[in-house]
Amino acid sequence: MSQPQFVPTAPQQSTHYTSPPKRDRSWSADRPGDVFQKGQPAGELMGTQGPDQGFALKLVRTFENQLCLTPGEHLADVNAGCVAVALKRASAFGRAPTVHDLRCAFTIFGFLDPTADAELIELRKELFEEVAHSHHYAERRAIADAVPTEFLHRPHSTIIDDAPQWRSVLARVVG
């Protein structure tokens, strides 16, 4: 930052910026808030970390007019659960969420299909009930965990094409 013109300086004093001295050693993550050398911590209820995950909250608004909700389903709950699945898919690729991640999540649970299977609708009503509330984090994680990571690694067009076989995708929670 340059010095304002009205600040007096001695004639021999330089007003040009100079960089601080070079560090003698290389940087390492040794503070509590730094990224760990072995990667992010993992474990139960730790979620899946990825860059710019908040962008999904902006993208989810583009689907609000396309969703096919039935009586008893609430938009906030649907958005919260599907954002969790979309973030799981995006972080599996090590990138920020895209509109395709959200489309896949909504499609897996039949929210973009006006003729969704009645059994799937009953299942999603049970899974998504009240998950928008912060004290229902475990239930939101259960929705994300219900969709296998191997399935989410597939191209988005393949996921959308295979969504009608939802029983095999959601085998962990069906039945």
Instruction: Identify the pLDDT of residue 163.
Output: 86
Structural tokens at position 23:
């560090």
- 142 within some domain: yes
- 8 within some domain: no
Q: What is the mean pLDDT of residues 111-138?
A: 94
Per residue in 11-45, pLDDT (tens digit) is: 666 666 677 777 777 767 677 666 656 666 677 76
Structural tokens at position 99:
């509109």
Calculated CA dihedral for residues 125, 130, 136, 139, nearest 10 degrees: 10
Q: How many domains does the chain have?
A: 1
Per residue in 67-92, pLDDT (tens digit) is: 999 999 999 999 999 999 999 999 98
Predicted model pTM: 0.75
Sequence-ordered list of residues with C-beta below 8 angstroms from that of 88, at least 6 positions apart, any chain: 48, 144, 147, 149, 152
Domain coverage including residue 85:
55-169
Answer for the pair 63, 75: CB distance below 8 angstroms, yes or no: no
- 16 within some domain: no
- Residue ranges with strand state E in the chain: none
Residue bearing tokens 């929670």: 173
Residue 22 or residue 158, greater confidence? 158
- 35 within some domain: no
Residue 113 or residue 40, greater confidence? 113
Structural tokens at position 49:
């970390």
**DSSP state letter for 20:** P
Q: How confident is the model at residue 47 (pLDDT cuts 50, 70, 90)?
A: low
- 174 within some domain: no
- 34 within some domain: no
Structural tokens at position 106:
């909504």
- 143 within some domain: yes
**Residue 52 pLDDT > 90, yes or no?**
no
**In the chain, helix, strand, coil percent, each to 5?**
45, 0, 55
Alpha carbon distance 53, 91 (integer Å): 9
- 47 within some domain: no
